[in-house]
Structure 1
């Protein structure tokens, strides 16, 4: 693939451009010339990347004369896989990429919720935090289609970005952890336009695709039934250099695409529930719920704590929780699109010290990988707190204290507001 001419659609250079084009406003929407196509930060994330990997795999099989060739997946969700696989670190191999974080080569343990610096924690703690992160993103905080798949995005929509859980963490954070901090935009893996230049990208996304499969096969997840999602189309070049059109609905069953995932690979995070500190010295809000209106707007330069009212103090039944998820919504997160942004979110945490990533009070994180365009981007973050409230014995509280801790970001980062809402799980 590296040796093919640049204009051959099967070349590694052109394969990387496919990803760049679909995520950097390279294509207009059909029938809406002024609206650009984006496959990240929305419900197209999983099916687009599945099709992308499918054609990449077919091209590789054609080039080596083996139609049964299958991409390996980097199983970063299990302790044995929480390192860059050595097959990618041999400097004489075509799988090597020079633009990776030099400090994160094996035997450096992967941080699934990386914040730009390597925290001083021992490997046992890091593994525990990583497994808890996976449990929260895949199990306790993925009760609704919106939180797993991302924001609905139909023809004619000007995308209001909102990633699903897994796209944010660990997908984005692994890109961030892998990219070279000495490069302008954390190239190659740390930014969308160049991520596909690194062969590690495809093993990383194979495991992302595997998470979608696990979500449906082991966690009771279902596909979205809306035709706007099912009939969304993408264009790819196949292994014969033919331009083909595919639909989301035809990507949903991997057996029809010719592959399944090895079900003997361990999934240790399925039982890695967080533990609650339940501090008696809870953090007090710097902004009360009385002052927190829909017109709230603040700049995130330092840690802030706000009181956010809940919809009800009545403890909900299991049936009610199954039908509607209680969700913390952080609105109007605005920043320059060419900057990396990361902040962490805590609920009812201790006043003196922040909870570890394996604790219930650690509610989640927001992360944005840089684009080449500097223009402002505005996003919302939605975090399920249904299970968190159970774990913190806060189901009958009238409000919670939400703390935001900035980790990475240059320039102005503003927050438009906060709310807690009940959203349908399908």
Structure 2
């Protein structure tokens, strides 16, 4: 080196050589980054690199060719363990040793896909600072600003039923929402900016990571539904608490699964309140009771006592009978998979049903609550989802504890990005949200009137068997696939009958309905019955009614959706005294969107509990 320094010409030659080498390496690095996973794998342990350009669609700009020696390479896949390189972009080519956790390419946010008659803009992308940077959730929990906000690390926020809060709490909630609405339009804490977060994640605003950029992320109808929404309202709650200067502030939960909470909390309907929202169903104001299995085309006319009875029976089926992780939480959704593989029970209803029930009747797609791209513009959205989050917490404790997906690293390491109360962009993982106490909140416990309802059959065993024999004798064999444009009854063979108590404790018998060519832009709903009288079908408070599939209008980038609908039937067959039957008769009843869905197959599977 000393020899080089003593001869300036040699130093100049060396410098020129290095410049030429860099000029040569830049396009090579770009090529590798865009066309191969090898570059990511080799360079990730040492430094981070990203190249971005001006995005006209999302109105975001970034510094090009910016190098970071910290491990913030967001445009890379994150591999763990021994890596086997895939030979193509097909997700089926990935080794089990390669992480397939979903993560949005946050810098590539683009316009979402909306129905043609949507009443809003397709631009839901958040404000994005340059240079792009974020903090991990574990650092967020311990950084100085967070501790300063909490003042006391022992503070646990208590989320209370919305119908039990006092005037002081209501005033705080109104103040917080009013401040959020008054913030500058480009402030990530602004109320509409917060609503756009839901729009982007739930309507394909973000692509998956390379090499699956053609796959758009949608957190609905999958195992991401519960953790995404838990984080979403968590940060919303943190922002509210900061804006009103109350570290103990917690969102209320709209306790629509209790008898006293089955109507919209009255303070959300006061016209001069920041909690009021114009785009709601005008006939569903208090004291009208919510219908947890709402049919937007043919609303049921029921007495209050009838509606309460039906709601409680429906809650039992959606919570207690959904006793496996896939039945309750939805199907696995990994890197490279198409979106919306299969929803869980509560997501379909009451979650989707209440969105429909609240949506306005004079907007094209029942905006705002009736569609995911505008739903979070209604302040009641957050009380609604607080209760959905509470039901997840309750479900994990039913029957002494139920298993979720925490044994699957692809679920645990799935990632999202949210802005916090201090305008920091925070990267979170599903594993970070599995204990609400560690997140600093709990739910006030109330009675669960649905817990032991266990609906009984409407007809006797003899009546059911006679009707079943008649249907089996008169119906032609159904050929799949078929368009569901009218009521249809199908004989489904059971793989095994007369299972022992031990077998039923280990595995749930599950009716699986493959839903194909679902029209994403339309409302779709169909109900499912087992061994019922198709000429006089049972209501929710009888065992023969086993579930409902509900889909709200949303975009799917020009494609029809494929998903599957699953219903646990072990307890149902016990109640129907049908455990020794070789076949069951499944009746599908299209309620909304007749002809807008195709049934690809119906069978019975066994799922581990």
TM-score range, shorter chain: over 0.9
Partner SS state of residue 188, structure 1: coil
Match of 1:250 in 2: 432
Partner SS state of residue 35, structure 1: coil
> Contact (CA 8 Å) 2:484, 2:594: kept in 1 or not?
no
Q: What pairs with 1:282-321 in structure 2 (closer than 5 Å)?
A: 282=467, 284-285=470-471, 291-292=477-478, 296-313=480-497, 315-321=498-504
> Contact (CA 8 Å) 1:278, 1:392: kept in 2 or not?
no
Q: Distance in 1 between matches of 2:382 and 2:222?
A: 20
Partner SS state of residue 33, structure 1: coil
Structure 2 runs not aligned, ≥5 long: 1-179
Alpha-carbon spacing, 1:411–1:34, altered in 2? closer, same or farther (3 Å): same
Partner SS state of residue 356, structure 1: coil
Displacement of 1:372 in angstroms is 3.9
**Residue 235 (1) aligns with residue 417 (2):** yes
Displacement of 1:66 in angstroms is 1.0
> Contact (CA 8 Å) 2:195, 2:374: kept in 1 or not?
yes
**Residue 46 (1) aligns with residue 264 (2):** no
Match of 1:221 in 2: 402
Question: What TM-score does the superposition give when structure 1 sets the normalisation length?
Answer: 0.95
Aligned length: 420
Q: Distance in 1 between matches of 2:358 and 2:568?
A: 28
Match of 1:266 in 2: 447
> Contact (CA 8 Å) 1:137, 1:166: kept in 2 or not?
yes
Q: What pairs with 1:319-358 in structure 2 (closer than 5 Å)?
A: 319-358=502-541
Match of 1:13 in 2: 192
Match of 2:598 in 1: 414
Point out the structure with the larger strand share.
1
Displacement of 1:282 in angstroms is 2.1
Match of 1:121 in 2: 302
Q: Distance in 1 between matches of 2:476 and 2:303?
A: 42
- 4+ residue runs over 6 A deviation: 286-290
> Contact (CA 8 Å) 1:286, 1:304: kept in 2 or not?
no
Q: Distance in 2 between matches of 1:267 and 1:368?
A: 27
Q: Distance in 2 between matches of 1:241 and 1:268?
A: 41
Displacement of 1:290 in angstroms is 8.2
Q: What pairs with 1:132-281 in structure 2 (closer than 5 Å)?
A: 132-140=313-321, 142-219=322-399, 220-224=401-405, 225-263=407-445, 265-279=446-460, 280=463, 281=466
Q: Distance in 2 between matches of 1:274 and 1:53?
A: 33
Partner SS state of residue 27, structure 1: coil
Displacement of 1:397 in angstroms is 0.2
Displacement of 1:34 in angstroms is 1.6
Question: 1:57 pairs with 237, 247, 262, which one?
Answer: 237
Displacement of 1:156 in angstroms is 2.0
Alpha-carbon spacing, 1:290–1:310, altered in 2? closer, same or farther (3 Å): farther
Question: Which one is further off, 198-207 or 209-218?
Answer: 209-218
Question: What TM-score does the superposition give when structure 2 sets the normalisation length?
Answer: 0.67
**Residue 108 (1) aligns with residue 291 (2):** no
Q: Distance in 1 between matches of 2:370 and 2:512?
A: 26
Alpha-carbon spacing, 1:119–1:33, altered in 2? closer, same or farther (3 Å): same
Structure 1 runs not aligned, ≥5 long: none
> Contact (CA 8 Å) 1:298, 1:415: kept in 2 or not?
yes
Q: Distance in 2 between matches of 1:395 and 1:261?
A: 39
Deviations 1:231-289 (A, max 9, x none): 111100000011010111110000011111112x1111111110112341525447989
Displacement of 1:411 in angstroms is 5.0
Match of 1:396 in 2: 580
Point out the structure with the larger helix share.
2
RMSD: 1.7
Partner SS state of residue 427, structure 2: strand
Displacement of 1:359 in angstroms is 0.3
